[in-house]
Amino acid sequence: MDNTAVELKFRETLFLRYSQCEKYLLPRDVYYKTVSDLRLAATTKTKKSRHQYYLLSKYEILQCGDVEKLIKKRESPEERPVYYVSIEDTYEIIKKAHISTGHGGRDRMLKHIKEKYANITKDSLDLFKSYCVVCQEKRKRQKTNGVVVKPILSSEFNSRAQVDLIDMQSLPQGQYKWIMVYQCHLTKFVILRPLTSKRAAEVAYQLLDIFLLFGAPAILQSDNGSEFTAQVITELKVLWPQLVMVHGKPRHPQSQGSVERANSDIKDILVAWMSDNNTNDWTVGLKFTQQQKNCAHHAGINQTPYKALFGENPKVGLTSSSLPSEILERLQSEDDLLAIFGQQNTSARNDDPPPTTATSAEPQSPPARTDEPQPTSARTDDPQPTSTRTAEPQPTPARTAEPQPTSARTAEPQPSSADFTDWL
């Protein structure tokens, strides 16, 4: 519908409303008749009719040059006039109010309108808004936003991030003696890297890689102090001159304890991983620790950091699919997958489209909750090492290559969110 068509439709509807109730709306001819009746009533010197008294108690004529306007009866001429509007003029008046309120809703328009106009109904405002193309588009966008969490959160991903160091000198692994913990404040997404030293240059080098992958925050802060952060930023500028960021205040300026808790939390997960996998190579364990933290429900944001950042739950290859584990274990090639779906298809309803690619193995829009790792009530001391069935890279020692048959569910990271919330 173009504007004229919209206006006609709007006017038609108002006339329909008028036919149902004559109390508020005024067709133009009735408007003019009221004006002339009113003028007559005012000039009637002899006995006035009841209708004339009614008109005089309700209306007034405002003479603006050669234009006569019907307004609400005022107590005194100093009062601001409140105009009556004919049905034919209503559209333009609401349009102006709607635009000047930035496509405002009914109540915002009403505030704007009721000071000046006497008979524009809430219903007319709703009706107008329902015809506004711009508002319809906006509503569509909002609907989409409601479903997808990601754009809202990720639009601010990187605005502020934290970088801390964990001392691993008591358990050096090759040349690695430190863990760098990088975290986006908004999504709580964590990135862990092994470091050989706590030198700002080395931290900056690792951060550069992260920033070029995910974008760089505006503010960088650290529990190691703003002096440290400032050094890191200086080093970053050497590597990436275009990058401008500022150093922020430490997260917990007066409490060293929180840093220690954070450190011990990651250490706990790492130690458990090393024990499960019979290795001291925490540089590998860091990768799994990172994944487990990001896939654990975070109470502060009421979802996993992974989902907050990417807008969907993490996938662990076919382990994340709805296929039963005994089937998963047998799968080798895409043909195997197709065969499974071929079988399913013959028994399935005819209206199911035949899956053609491996991606169709994904469960079709599972309820969001079921894919969320559920925070375990009991402390899960052993982070579940992902088995070789998963798509995760397997740089683990020989022992871990032993496949551990796991169901799709247990292959998901076992979060123990309570442990993380303290320092996040």
Which of 2, 402 has the CB closer to Zn ion?
2
Give the shortest CB-409-to-Zn ion separation in angstroms. Answer: 47
Contact call for residue 133 and Zn ion (CB under 5 A): no
Closest CA to 386 of 313, 297, 320: 320
Contact call for residue 103 and Zn ion (CB under 5 A): yes
Site for Zn ion in 280-309 (CB under 5 A): none
Q: What is the residue type of 348?
A: A
Which of 76, 142 has the CB closer to Zn ion?
142
Segment lying near Zn ion (by CB under 5 A), choices 49-57, 124-132, 205-213, 279-287: 124-132
DSSP assigned state of 77: T
| 154-193 footprint of Zn ion as x/- string (CB under 5 A) | ----------------------------------------
Contact call for residue 135 and Zn ion (CB under 5 A): yes
Euclidean distance between CA atoms 97 and 262, whole angstroms: 54
Which of 28, 140 has the CB closer to Zn ion?
140
Segment lying near Zn ion (by CB under 5 A), choices 88-96, 135-143, 163-171, 262-270: 135-143
Q: Which of 134, 238, 327, 391 binds Zn ion (CB under 5 A)?
A: 134
Which of 56, 132 has the CB closer to Zn ion?
132
Euclidean distance between CA atoms 201 and 39, whole angstroms: 88
Which of 105, 257 has the CB closer to Zn ion?
105
Q: What is the residue type of 420?
A: F
Which of 132, 171 has the CB closer to Zn ion?
132
Number of C-beta neighbours around residue 65 at 10 A: 5
- Looking at 21-132, list the stretches that DSSP marks H as alpha helix, in order from N- to C-terminal side: 28-43, 50-58, 87-100, 106-114, 122-131
Which of 17, 103 has the CB closer to Zn ion?
103
Segment lying near Zn ion (by CB under 5 A), choices 133-141, 161-169, 182-190, 248-256: 133-141
Segment lying near Zn ion (by CB under 5 A), choices 130-138, 140-148, 257-265, 328-336: 130-138
Give the shortest CB-138-to-Zn ion separation in angstroms. Answer: 7
Euclidean distance between CA atoms 247 and 40, whole angstroms: 78
For tokens 């863990």, the residue is: 179
For residue 269, what are the contacts with CB-CB under 8 A and spacing of at least 6?
285, 289, 292, 293, 383
Number of residues that bind Zn ion (CB under 5 A): 4
**3 state DSSP class of 212:** helix
Q: Which of 30, 132, 219, 274 binds Zn ion (CB under 5 A)?
A: 132
CA of 82: how far to CAs of 38, 85, 102, in Å? Answer: 16, 10, 23
Segment lying near Zn ion (by CB under 5 A), choices 32-40, 95-103, 251-259, 271-279: 95-103
Which of 5, 244 has the CB closer to Zn ion?
5
CB-based contact 341:328 (threshold 8 Å): no
Specify which residues 262 forms β-bridges with: none
Give the shortest CB-88-to-Zn ion separation in angstroms. Answer: 21
Residue 62 Ramachandran class (φ > 0 left, ψ -120 to 50 alpha, else beta): beta
Euclidean distance between CA atoms 80 and 198, whole angstroms: 72
Segment lying near Zn ion (by CB under 5 A), choices 7-15, 99-107, 334-342, 412-420: 99-107
Contact call for residue 48 and Zn ion (CB under 5 A): no
Which of 133, 327 has the CB closer to Zn ion?
133
Helix axes 87-100, 106-114, angle to 10 degrees: 110
SS3 content of the chain, % helix, strand, coil (to 5): 50, 10, 40
Specify which residues 183 forms β-bridges with: 162, 190
Contact call for residue 6 and Zn ion (CB under 5 A): no
Site for Zn ion in 319-358 (CB under 5 A): none
Specify which residues 221 forms β-bridges with: 162
Q: Which residue is nearest to Zn ion (CB)?
A: 132
Which of 98, 247 has the CB closer to Zn ion?
98
CA 234, 239, 241, 247 torsion-angle sign: negative
Note the residues at the interface with Zn ion (CB under 5 A). 103, 132, 134-135
